[in-house]
Amino acid sequence: MNVVVILPLLVPFLTAIFGFLAWGNRQAQRLISVVGSTVLLIASLILLWVVSQQGIQATQAGDWPAPFGITFVADTFSAIMVVMVGVMGLSTVIYSLVTIDVEREAQGFHPLIHMLFVGVCGAFLTGDIFNLYVWYEVMLIASFVLLVMGGERSQLEGGIKYVTLNLLASALFLAAVGLLYGLTGTLNMAHLSEVVPTLVEQQGMVTVVAMLFLFAFGIKGALFPLFFWLPASYHTPPIAVTVIFSALLTKVGVYSLIRVFTLIFTGDAVFVQVVLLVIAGFTMVTGVLGAVAQYEMRRLLSFHIISQIGYLLMGLALFTPLSLAASVFFMAHVILAKSALFLVGGVLNRLAGTYDLKKLGGFYRVSPVLAVLFFIPAMSLAGIPPLSGFWAKFALIRAGLETQQYAIVAASLVVSVLTLFSMTKIWAEAFLKEKEQEDGKLKEGVEPVATLPISERLPLLAPIAVIAMLMIVMGVGAEPFFNLALQASEEMLTRTEYVQAVLGGQV
């Protein structure tokens, strides 16, 4: 068995087990959580290094040969995504040491968040379409408990909307899996990539199944018009939970779409491209318009999650080596940018006691470091050079122009301008203007970050600073990162190495 492939699954699973065994011992749970997150990041980096140097890695659980056993596969795309789980996992766990209250820690926050990492890493590494469903359910259970933990009314309302729509998606996903198995007799994704193209006489049914997967993953990924559950739920839990949801959960839905439409459903390309382009455009536009209308920072950023998902789908819809590479690069960029913005929002709330932009103000004057830590991811999200967001959007726009898809290019440019507008609104309201009291008079002092004890200040600011630095490095030194994304794109489009790594010469 290739241990390096399953290590990103074993580490968070064992961390969760040890966390549950330490139930009632808060300090032990916190230590286990930090150590487990650190080891997960190291394991993910090792996996990416092995894949980049030795090619796609695969392993069969129990030594049952593919396509009959349970397969785990790590290509460049999935390895990059596992690294993002490691980066965001460690960042969020450190941040949570200050922001998660004692009650939620006593209810099992730390082991549950590592169970969430198990589900996410499993989804990225599975080579079997049914086991992808299983990992989705692991994510759904852990995420629902994290969402409603604390029992506040807004959390329960958001949790009901979240779980209802996601259960619908799971039912559609399972139905699609059953129909696909009935058509092909296999659920191994590498084997499906060989069998599905031979179903020429059943192409209509194959397209129906593909659309079922699109609908199911569209709900999970918050695509238009299936996204309304996200802004209704993501602003309700503690900010550390919102950060990890924003970073990973919708990205698993987009990852799944890219995986199945580059590996399995490649026959009716023109029809699928049109559908995906239309959905991508509406997802971008409706998401950013929702953000522009908001003055509650978490809701504003939640709508931006939706908007940025449209860019990821645009890369898949264009279906060229450059566009897919751009989607991979954009995925890493947007995970970092959105997470940093939510983390800054959490710090603002800790200092001012609110997420309402109209009640914030003055932080540029009293906390310039925090202002800089907001400015970097905000400008990166808007696509300002030389940050990572500029190169991600530049590559997508270039791919759109090369394929003469001018409508989606125009939509992406307009959305970028509106994104800049909404980031400027946060900057103006929270940082530049002076905070006012309810009677309309200026407040003499705004609480600066420096007033927090170092034991709080360091866990709050260090993750944001590291993420901001990563965005600068990805922007200024974009070439090696984009070359890695191009490698991922080439593997997805050729599929030969993937199939060979999983099946060898057995089928």
pLDDT in tens, 450-507: 788 888 999 999 999 999 999 999 999 999 999 999 999 999 999 999 999 999 855 4
- At 126, is the secondary structure helix, strand, or coil? strand
The answer on pLDDT for 413 being more than 70 is: yes
Give the separation between CA 405 and CA 392, rounded to whole angstroms: 17
Residue indicated by tokens 């007033």? 451
| pLDDT tens for each residue of 254-296 | 999 999 999 999 877 788 889 999 999 999 999 999 999 999 9
Average pLDDT estimate for 339-361:
92
**What pLDDT, on a 0 to 100 scale, did the predictor assign at position 441?**
44
**What pLDDT, on a 0 to 100 scale, did the predictor assign at position 153?**
80
Report the DSSP beta bridge partners of residue 72: 59, 126
Q: Fill in the DSSP letter of residue 442.
A: B
Measure the CA dihedral 469/284/309/459, to 10°: 40
- Span of 25-39, 278-292, 374-388, 433-447 with lowest mean pLDDT: 433-447
Both tokens of 459, joined, read 């866990």
Judge whether 238 and 104 are in contact, CB under 8 Å.
Answer: yes
| pLDDT tens for each residue of 167-219 | 999 999 999 999 999 999 999 999 999 999 999 888 889 999 999 999 999 99
* CA distances for 243 relative to 43, 161, 376, angstroms: 22, 19, 17
Phi, psi (degrees; rounded to nearest 5) at 128? -130, 130
**What pLDDT, on a 0 to 100 scale, did the predictor assign at position 151?**
75
Average pLDDT estimate for 331-335:
97
Average pLDDT estimate for 19-36:
95
The helix-helix angle for 478-494 and 388-402 (nearest 10°) equals 40
Report the DSSP beta bridge partners of residue 58: 73
**What pLDDT, on a 0 to 100 scale, did the predictor assign at position 61?**
85
**What pLDDT, on a 0 to 100 scale, did the predictor assign at position 449?**
83
Residue indicated by tokens 């699954």? 9
- Span of 112-116, 445-449, 456-460, 466-470 with lowest mean pLDDT: 445-449
Give the number of other Cβ atoms within 10 Å of residue 63's Cβ. Answer: 8
**What pLDDT, on a 0 to 100 scale, did the predictor assign at position 436?**
61
Both tokens of 347, joined, read 């710090």
The mean pLDDT value of the chain amounts to: 92
The answer on pLDDT for 144 being more than 60 is: yes
pLDDT > 70 in the chain, percent: 97
**What pLDDT, on a 0 to 100 scale, did the predictor assign at position 444?**
46
Give the separation between CA 143 and CA 149, rounded to whole angstroms: 10
**What pLDDT, on a 0 to 100 scale, did the predictor assign at position 127?**
94
Could you tell me the pLDDT band of residue 445, with boundaries at 50, 70 and 90?
A: low
Mode of pairing for the β-strands spanning 71-74 and 57-60: antiparallel
Both tokens of 236, joined, read 């309700």
The predicted model scores a pTM of 0.95
Give the number of other Cβ atoms within 10 Å of residue 65's Cβ. Answer: 12
Give the separation between CA 161 and CA 432, rounded to whole angstroms: 36
Give the number of other Cβ atoms within 10 Å of residue 479's Cβ. Answer: 8
* Residue 458 CB contacts under 8 Å (≥ 6 apart), including other chains: none
* Residue 24 CB contacts under 8 Å (≥ 6 apart), including other chains: 106
- At 294, is the secondary structure helix, strand, or coil? coil
